[in-house]
Structure 1
Amino acid sequence: MTKPDVLMVGRYPEWEMPLFERDYVVHKLWLATDRARFLSEVGPAIRAIATNGVLGAGAELIDACPKLEIIACFGVGFDAIDLDRARTRGIRVTNTPDVLTEDVADMAFALILASMRRIVEGEGFVRSGAWTKGALPLGKSLNGKTLGVIGLGRIGRAIARRATAFGMSVAYCDLAEDPEASHAYFPDPVSLARVSDILVAATAGGAGTKNLVNAAVFEALGPEGLFVNVSRGTVVDEPALIAALEEKRIGAAALDVFWNEPNIDPRLLGFKTVIVQPHHASGTVEARKAMGKLVRDNLAAHFAGRPLPTPVI
């Protein structure tokens, strides 16, 4: 039986590669020195694209593969995939929800704790010898604070559970109020920010949420507020965030995602009140292995004519 041709947009974890190459003819786009020529040569044979939430699959890439049947995304976010073009072509799209939820929520709280309790600063304080000359400035307690969650989906709910365990109050905003949620609901990020000590973005990316967190939100969060982003860089008006930090209209930020990652705005690195991570909220061995398996399960189901485990379209 002939193995289907799969275009892999970016390298998957090392343990995934032998499994993909066992079951498919894998064409590695990231190794191509001439992308256009490479696609002109292999594109006509491609039946599946294996990508991730950052690299996605735009219209140009989709159109280069006339026999394309399915796009499998290694990640929960699919905003970098042109869903309209996929629908027009009748191409299925899958992602990997649920399996990374708890790890992303853990990272959200790691960022919160790192900022509120000065973890990064304190580590440097000890290593530099500064501790012998005085005390580290005091941090802030989580107990009794209000955590605002933008987007009460799978990840937002997991973050809210952790906040409750830390003795925090939780409020949220979303497209509509969740009748099963016990937390206070606010119709928009501005009104949510007004009641929040810490504001976490956990919503989906895409055109519908672009610049959702903007200057008005930061103004409402206030000079003592902490903003945390574990969603997508596009959710935040980054110049407005930088301005709010420069003018001390918010207290701090802890960020796992950025507009132009990995080439982030260097101004963000100049703030002592900003903690940064390399888009690594799902970066655990356990989560990544489960994500890879779900990508492969979706592809296997498609080529066997079975229902897809986690379809987007």
Structure 2
Amino acid sequence: MRELFDVRLSDSEHPMSRADLADAMAEADILVPTITDVIDAPLLGGAGPRLKLIANYGAGIDHIDVSTARQRGILVSNTPGVLTEDTADMTMALILSTARRMGEGIAQMQSEGWSGWAPEALLGMRLRGKRLGILGMGRIGQALASRARAFGMSVHYHNRRRLHEGLEAPLEATFWDSLDQMLARVDVLSVNAPHTPATFHLLNARRLKLLKRTAIVVNTSRGEVIDENALTRMLRAGDLAGAGLDVYERGRGVNPRLRDLPNVVLLPHMGSATREARLEMGERVLVNMRTFADGHRPPDQVVPSML
């Protein structure tokens, strides 16, 4: 960025304060936020006349009021695609670690609580032959499906639209128009849907109760898609076998009751945390910035149909 533009950088790993964001937006032509920078209507209302592009460093854009930005003539771009493989890897890792109770095993070893091998100790779920339900069959959902097939799982999915046959057939994936019907039949549920008004608490208490008591839930997408309190109650009551979570409904505010549950694997939003992904994200931001500066539409511009 320094080679191409006149840049002011935040060198801290911590989120910018609201005041710092407001100051930056009052002066900049382009703002490059991350997912921890909430760009809402009041902040956009105070943006300077020069601000014409918000080039988000990341794929998710639910922290940006895209509609208000659009009304003010400010374009928004993101970095789609570059996180697909890494997030799918992490999702599969969470499925494995939750199904095989690795979190409990690690805790035993770290606390020196292991008393040795026993026939019924830490019995988990075999993945081969089990049904994986994918909620949201975009790039990451499809990448996860290919991994699950390698583990011998059958793939089922619910999506706003059914995949084209050319994408669906190689995955041997079964489309369910009814989310409720799919939930009742799967052994593992992976949430790979974005957070939108339509997906907020899509997995509410009623829908979570449709899952088998032996099922596990994994979420590497957006925490707001699941009613976290309802999920916690079911896990505590033994109405679900386990959960693997990389995202949370209240961001960093993880439900303390979740932390105490042995059948839950919690990660600190690290689904895309590889060196390769971070570099590719930066490269996509630069492409969007440079294309915009040259007077053209950014290739990764967010349009209303995506929301």
Residue 23 of structure 1 corresponds to which residue in structure 2? 5
User: What is the SS of the residue equivalent to 2:198?
Assistant: helix
Residue 10 of structure 1 corresponds to which residue in structure 2? none
The reply to whether residue 254 of structure 1 matches residue 244 of structure 2 is yes
Cα shift at 1:311? 1.3
Does the 8 A contact of 1:189 with 1:213 survive in 2?
no
The structure-2 alpha-carbon separation of the partners of 1:40 and 1:162, relative to structure 1 and needing over 3 Å to count, comes to closer
Cα shift at 1:266? 0.6
For the residues of structure 2 that align with 1:32 and 1:235, how far apart are their CA atoms? 23
The reply to whether residue 65 of structure 1 matches residue 47 of structure 2 is yes
Gaps of 5+ in 2: none
More strand by share: 1
Residue 130 of structure 2 corresponds to which residue in structure 1? 145
For the residues of structure 2 that align with 1:190 and 1:244, how far apart are their CA atoms? 17
Residue 93 of structure 2 corresponds to which residue in structure 1? 110
Gaps of 5+ in 1: 1-18
Does the 8 A contact of 2:24 with 2:31 survive in 1?
no
Q: Say which is worse superposed, 58-67 or 39-48, in terms of deviation.
A: 39-48
Does the 8 A contact of 1:39 with 1:64 survive in 2?
no
For the residues of structure 1 that align with 2:15 and 2:87, how far apart are their CA atoms? 32
Q: Which deviations, in whole Å up to 9, do the C-alpha atoms of 1:76-124 show, x marking residues without a partner? A: 1111111110111121111111111000000000101111112222233
For the residues of structure 2 that align with 1:261 and 1:251, how far apart are their CA atoms? 24
Residue identity opposite 1:24 in structure 2: D
Q: Say which is worse superposed, 112-121 or 127-136, in terms of deviation.
A: 127-136
Report % sequence identity: 36
Residue 149 of structure 2 corresponds to which residue in structure 1? 164
The structure-2 alpha-carbon separation of the partners of 1:39 and 1:123, relative to structure 1 and needing over 3 Å to count, comes to closer
Cα shift at 1:263? 1.8
The structure-2 alpha-carbon separation of the partners of 1:283 and 1:20, relative to structure 1 and needing over 3 Å to count, comes to farther
Residue 227 of structure 2 corresponds to which residue in structure 1? 237
Q: Which deviations, in whole Å up to 9, do the C-alpha atoms of 1:149-177 show, x marking residues without a partner? A: 00000111011111111100000001122
Does the 8 A contact of 2:15 with 2:37 survive in 1?
no
Residue 69 of structure 2 corresponds to which residue in structure 1? 86
Q: Which deviations, in whole Å up to 9, do the C-alpha atoms of 1:236-293 show, x marking residues without a partner? A: 1111111111222111110000011212111110110110011110011111110111
The reply to whether residue 96 of structure 1 matches residue 86 of structure 2 is no
Residue 53 of structure 1 corresponds to which residue in structure 2? 35
For the residues of structure 2 that align with 1:79 and 1:51, how far apart are their CA atoms? 12
Cα shift at 1:187? 2.0
The structure-2 alpha-carbon separation of the partners of 1:34 and 1:179, relative to structure 1 and needing over 3 Å to count, comes to closer
Instruction: Find the partner of 1:74 among 40, 53, 57.
Output: 57
Residue identity opposite 2:148 in structure 1: A
Residue identity opposite 2:8 in structure 1: V
For the residues of structure 2 that align with 1:46 and 1:250, how far apart are their CA atoms? 49
For the residues of structure 1 that align with 2:151 and 2:16, how far apart are their CA atoms? 50
Residue identity opposite 2:132 in structure 1: L
Residue 109 of structure 2 corresponds to which residue in structure 1? 126
